[in-house]
Amino acid sequence: MHKKSSLNIVIFGVGAMGSLFGSRLSGVANVTLFGHWPEQINTLQQEGLTVIRPDGGQAHYRLAVTNRPEDLPAADVALILVKSHQTARAARQAAAVLRPGGVAITLQNGLGNLEKLALVVGINRAAQGTTAQGATILAPGQLRHAGEGPTYLATLPGRKRQLKRVVDLFNRAGLETSMVDNADSLVWGKLAINAGINPVTALFEVPNGRLAEDEKFRKLMIGAATEVADVAAAQGISLPFTDVAGRTLEVCQATAGNRSSMLQDISRTAPTEIEAICGAVVTYGHRTGVPTPVNELLLYLVKEKEAGHSTLTPFDTFGCFFE
């Protein structure tokens, strides 16, 4: 049994990823979760968190969780796991509790989160990471861990030793984690997979695995992911895999039973991360002169559905992509 670290970790976000990382890290460090979802916070405080593991087994955790900023301890590590539209607020809250020598780490989906974080906590205290862990909230206090996946943290000038300590801590918690020199390749690789899977599952309200089984879903998914690879290539960024279509399909199959985070948001009429995913692809596509028609259409349709204006008839809207 490892001795518990003296590090104070504050996790911003009490949804699927915040709860997953909180449950794992609570066994190896002092962890506090902070968020704004009343039902989840009340359930975690009163009953704890039940996690259904990928093998079907269950584990129960008692976690420190609050929605009161004044109750947060001074943090050595602020782990940002909120939705992208909440990053600016989380950055301000993290800056208020982060120790001078502390570091804030984003493992969020999409682009732009690191920049928002660095703007508030300082560029020398903001670190980029990615994770391929998959999780779904079934109900407040109930989490399904849909699939294991690697986590990566990018080095930060002057903070390598500190981040190495975080990497070691994550690995002790059973979260496979490595350090890399530059996260651009990983961030854009994850963006390709997110752009392929998340909006399509959200629009058609299907779990990840259905995209691999249905040819029409699969074409949309691969079309969106391929556009991301093209935009990345135009910037001189190589993805961490050579076959973007094959890799996206692999992830889809490996997380077959998972309901993507965007589908979870749509299901509970919450704002999605479509702007930080497909919206970012479209923006960078315009900058680099790379056409992104699939991402543009997905961006438009998800925003329509998010606003309650969707009259989507499956596939009719996408006719030109299925010829």
Catalytically active residues, by annotation: 190
* Cα(75)–Cα(95) distance, integer angstroms: 9
CB 105 within 8 A of CB 127: yes
Strand partners, 79: 11, 105
- Give the CA distances from residue 99 to residues 134, 195, 208, in Å, rounded to whole numbers and listed in that order: 30, 35, 39
- Of 215, 310, 306, the residue nearest 263 (C-alpha): 306
CB 151 within 8 A of CB 131: yes
Strand partners, 65: 33
* Cα(151)–Cα(29) distance, integer angstroms: 18
Residues 6+ positions from 153 with CB-CB distance below 8 Å: 105, 127, 128, 129, 163, 166, 167, 177, 178, 179, 180, 183
62: helix, coil or strand? coil
CB 64 within 8 A of CB 90: no
CB 103 within 8 A of CB 157: no
Name the region of 257 (left: φ>0; alpha: ψ -120 to 50; beta: rest). alpha
